Chain A
């Protein structure tokens, strides 16, 4: 592996070749076809010798980078002196990210035996164990997650077994990545709001230790409660409940002392069982990093980058691997790169390799990153390659990136693009999670008595429901109290209640209730983003109160930096979910679990199969973007519900298999596998996945499947059934190359979501790490894709940043990393997190409904609660539709009016400014500045519209018998909601909408104006009386063409036209031109041209006439009559330009040369008539005649022509009788046509 890298660095092979080489290995199928045409044979040879190592290259590269960077991000415990520096980078990344980062920089992927070349030695030193500290962490995490204290150990044991024989490596202390298991050093920062708050189930990189033995399963408690950086630890416990900080603070912190004690116990237990050196090492603990510590950052300077070329090469390979999805987790890599970007200082390398001299640059022996400059340079190089991903991050991250001075310094171009992306971004993402204990109004669907077998069962169930809600309320009230414990407080009551559920049907009733409550409480996507399925809009969004909004934002800022779980947090049950998980555990009822699984499976199937609206093409125009917004929200709601349900299904389904014992090995494993493979899956997820992929609904199916799988136990991935699933997912992952975008394929953000969740899944401890780098033989499993329908959900832009961040809060770690940099680096006072000094002591989210509006909302809730659910659905439906219609109405009226105004203004503008008009962009600006202020009316109009329309609709949809009071309340609520919806959209979008429409109108007008001024003039339609019976233009063109072809020849002797036919034809032409029904401009143009040709033929007397033999030629009078008709058509009936100058084109005049005897009088007649009728100017004709002389004619013809022009020029138009005198007939002298 190192050899590959080395040869790359020595430029023996090109980056492209290496990437091809790796990619091929991972694609498996082309293993043998090493030499491709584009491969330089030398390269191929160099690489082919390394063929067996191919699949290990990526892990090697990643580990190599982590290793190399360890000096820059040095949080190694043994160098306490550096700890402050380290802490500067890490502590603010509270808990999670630091751990994650640390994990990230530890050895991600253990080299395998085959791969151990010289360069890998250092890695091997780190431990044959895969993934360095991972297992230990995992152990801890599992512990927390799965409860029973000892349970965490199995994971570690298993890993250890596999990686056994790894020598400890004392020498590595320096470069050892920060030991995040060192809890003192990297304390998970306390306040953990619901989202990531509970993420105490660590991934393999994270190793918090469970504190509470009895209750480790219950609501996630962040036990290692060290305060957030900005808090003084001692102040915490007291402030906990009263200060707003308390909201997010871990509930379980009794006292630090106590916890530490437990921690120690835990660790010693682990140590006993796992003597590996990488396990948590409490003794290494350095003092808590203080923020005041030496934070002097080393400035990064592009000029001082040590080996540019080498860094560029490695960055390129690395970027290519990321771009090709050869790395397991895109965001983990980005996180790593961000870390490099924001690295504060280099470890003072006193004990570092003395050979770190600029001499040995090109080998792997010398460190890749010799200074901060190198790190930043490398990071910027990589980021440049991933601009597209960056530009799709949320606005806040973009802002921080764009403002990052290092980025500016190293790549102004990238910084410029980021700034542009930031300015264009609308992806404001609220990182704040809804407060954990939402003030949920309980509204169980009133279960119908008819659904119960007996009165007794019904009453029992009623009682149970009461107990359930009692328990829930109690949990809400108490779960944040420090000393409160779920099992102790509620366990017995829950079990007693479950005991009463004797009948099977009662179980199913209860499960339904449980599930509904779960959905209702837990699936709020956070922020005011969406409404829960079947739930009223978020209280906050209904309030819209300024004050509350500010509080909300404030809270968000308070919480955001702390709510972290690292870039790869373990699966957790944040917020209310904790209640449900604890409930399941405490109830420990087999029947309940079974019913729950049944019910969850059913609901998952149902939601997964839900026909979600497709993206309609009309949306591109924004025509129905209101609807589309709604549809996107619907998708978000469905997706989040699915994820929630699948998470619980996974949790319950795999619960029996997750025990404290380590994953089995050897024969034991085989027998367990044999046994487990018999067990049918609780839900046929494989089929659902396959179908999802087939139907191009991966964007819906995969995220919930990932949630489900994240709870799998260690055996699961070894089962054939699930292995298939993982392989499918792996293929999917690899196929989601972000840079490949094409019509009908997956949207960018959809891909990003899938990459994020899959990447996260691949980091879950139970997923075997070698799985990702598995070299898979060709399988047709993924081939299904080719027969998929063209437009699946995948192709629709259903994912937005809000959903992405809601599903994958860990992406927010990137932002926090950058924010930390800002807060720590510049001399600014405060920075991101310190600016706010909370002054209120009341809980923020807890009682938002104290305001009158909140009360109103609650009243509405209560109102609905008392009414049949259909009423609520009706009101919501009406509100939704009316709101949407309102926007459409505004578009069709107000906006359309404004567009008309714009058009007339534009016309004026154009008149005043002349034909040129000026710069369209400037024009647009002027118009918009004039018109956009009118958009303000939209709100009033919208309100009025909703007021007018909603009541009628509600009335029509509700039963006739609805009491008047109920009806009027329902109407009022509908009006309110509709107005809310419409006004929210309008106020946000009206200006942009007007702008867009005006822009379209402007470009339309300008276009119409541009090329064809004639087309713009009054085009008369046919008269009102016209019945459109005129001959069709196509018929006429065809007829005239026939005449022309007859005249031009060749023709049979008996062919010809009658004068009557000609006359009739011209008559028809007149009709057609007057009835414009069927006439399109091109047809008119051709008719005009053909008529001119016809005139020329008439003038030259070239039309063969049918009739008695004597009359082979058109009689002079007839010809004149026909010419008159033509003249009048040209004058009166043609609306487009007629190319009359063609009459005097050399070719047409040349026709005269053919006639014997030549007769010029018709031409002269025609020319004079043209002038007289004003069809052509004298000058124009003169010019044409003049140019005729330049052509080569036979001598006599030229003479006659000259005479003609003299004649024409000499006299003013003469009256008709005199024309005969102008004959220029000189018989028998005409000759052949002019030759050129």
Chain B
């Protein structure tokens, strides 16, 4: 399914400073009933990430951390069962999972001799039962399950989506009888950077010749598109170089995706003249 740029922008408009919670998502769904939850969530998540990228520095000053921590402590002293941490995060407009991490770090600093390692923190976030303080464990857990944009669960969901779409893509390629090399095969051949699939025989889709396919299971907005272009696509191009004039990336046709037009235009702006863009379809939903 194709989402127009206008639709996309309308959705993005509604997401300005909305906390990343279940409730927000529900409201969004009511507002845009024609869009699937996955699409909305993906856009939400991406817009929210942009927001966090812009603002996260201010939450990481030592003064901010200190004040959050004090507020948290005061809050739990009053009522340990109340959603202190979640409310705090929503109030200061920060992702609950990230707030949880911040407070947890601060807490461990206070209680342990040495500064906690990243892996310890990650492991505690994944399994809050490991957190030595029961109240904090509950608070952290609450933050994580209520955050729909950050946190280990969300990460896992994203990863799962990526994997699923790769499988779907592979099935589609098999179904269409397109011969391809997948990432593992490519890696075995020594490619250092690999797209998901390289077509052994290029195909033409809507007039664009497609050599390889990279499925990004996230919403292909302009910004992320540029980032990918920079990080990955050019390096594929440099390696799989192929003929100068036709190379491209895309989701597969038929593997429905939401953002072709939005990202397509983004793709074109980033292209050199001789490099006709393929179609980029980011696969967000089935």
Contacts and interface: CB of A to CB of B under 8 A. Distances in A.
Contacts of B146: 1045, 1048, 1050
Interface stretch (A267-275, A617-625, A1195-1203): A617-625
Interface stretch (A335-343, A877-885, A1228-1236): A1228-1236
A1089 B127 contact: yes
A960 B196 CA distance: 44
A1234 B83 contact: no
Contacts of A618: 189-191
Contacts of A1146: 129, 134
Contacts of B60: none
Given A617-B239, A1233-B138, A1083 B129 contact: no
Given A620-B190, A1049-B83, A1032 B160 contact: yes
A519 to B, nearest CB: 31
Contact of A1233 (B135, B160, B164, B190): B135
A984 to B, nearest CB: 24
Contacts of B167: 1077-1078
Given A1042-B22, A1050-B83, A1236-B134, A614 B241 contact: yes
Contacts of A116: none
A1037 B157 contact: yes
Interface in A225-270: none
B137 A1147 contact: yes
Contacts of B86: 1050
B160 A1048 contact: no
Given A1089-B127, A1146-B129, A1037 B160 contact: yes
Interface in A780-796: 790-791
A1035 B163 CA distance: 13
B138 A1147 contact: yes
A1148 B142 CA distance: 13
A1189 B93 CA distance: 39
A1235 B81 CA distance: 10
A1073 to B, nearest CB: 13
Contacts of B135: 1233, 1235-1236
B83 A1236 contact: no
Contacts of B132: 1236
Which of B38, B127, B133, B146 counts the most chain A CB atoms within 10 A? B146
B251 interface: no
B27 to A, nearest CB: 11
A744 B152 CA distance: 37
A1142 B128 CA distance: 10
Contacts of B38: 1035
Given A1037-B157, A1045-B146, A617 B141 contact: no
Given A1032-B164, A1080-B163, A1083-B159, A621 B190 contact: yes
Contacts of B189: 617-618, 621, 623
Nearest to B234: A790
| SS of B interface (majority) | helix
B123 to A, nearest CB: 12
Interface residues of B, number: 43
Given A623-B190, A1142-B127, A1145-B129, A1049 B142 contact: yes
B145 A1045 contact: yes
Given A1034-B160, A1048-B145, A1233 B81 contact: yes
Interface in B114-152: 127-129, 132-135, 137-138, 141-142, 145-146, 152
A1099 B191 CA distance: 51
B134 A1233 contact: yes
A1048 B83 CA distance: 9
Given A1045-B22, A1233-B135, A1236-B135, A1082 B286 contact: no
A1065 interface: no
Contacts of B103: none
A1154 interface: yes
Nearest to A1085: B156
Contact of B134 (A1028, A1048, A1080, A1191): A1191
B141 A1147 contact: yes
Interface in B154-171: 156-161, 163-164, 167-168, 171
Nearest to A789: B238
Nearest to A1081: B163
A1048 B171 CA distance: 38
A923 interface: no
A1142 B137 CA distance: 13
Interface string B222-255: 0000000000000000110100000000000000
A1033 B138 contact: no
A1035 B42 CA distance: 13
A1148 B129 contact: yes
Interface in B201-227: none
A1038 B135 CA distance: 25
Contacts of A1034: 157-158, 160-161, 164
A619 B134 contact: no
Contact of A1232 (B22, B80, B160, B239): B80
A1231 to B, nearest CB: 11
A428 interface: no
Contacts of A1048: 138, 141-142, 145-146
Interface string A1215-1236: 0000000000000000011111
A625 to B, nearest CB: 11
B23 interface: yes
B192 interface: yes
A1142 B192 CA distance: 40
A1154 B80 CA distance: 12
A801 to B, nearest CB: 24
Nearest to A1089: B127
Given A1147-B141, A1235-B80, A1080 B129 contact: no
Contact of A1044 (B41, B129, B145, B286): B145
B114 to A, nearest CB: 21
A1150 interface: yes
Contacts of B41: 1038
Interface string B166-192: 011001000000000000000011111
A1083 B160 contact: yes
18 contacts: A1032-B161, A1035-B38, A1038-B41, A1038-B157, A1045-B145, A1049-B83, A1082-B160, A1083-B160, A1083-B163, A1142-B127, A1145-B129, A1146-B129, A1147-B129, A1148-B129, A1150-B134, A1233-B80, A1233-B134, A1233-B135
Given A1078-B168, A1146-B134, A1147-B141, 17 more contacts: A614-B241, A621-B188, A791-B238, A791-B241, A1033-B160, A1033-B164, A1034-B160, A1041-B153, A1050-B83, A1052-B23, A1077-B167, A1078-B167, A1080-B159, A1142-B127, A1146-B129, A1233-B135, A1233-B138
Interface of B: 22-23, 38, 41, 80-81, 83, 86, 127-129, 132-135, 137-138, 141-142, 145-146, 152-153, 156-161, 163-164, 167-168, 171, 188-192, 238-239, 241, 286
Ranked nearest first, the 8 interchain pairs of A and B with the lowest CB-CB distance are A621-B190, A1034-B160, A1145-B129, A1083-B160, A1045-B145, A1080-B163, A1086-B156, A1078-B164
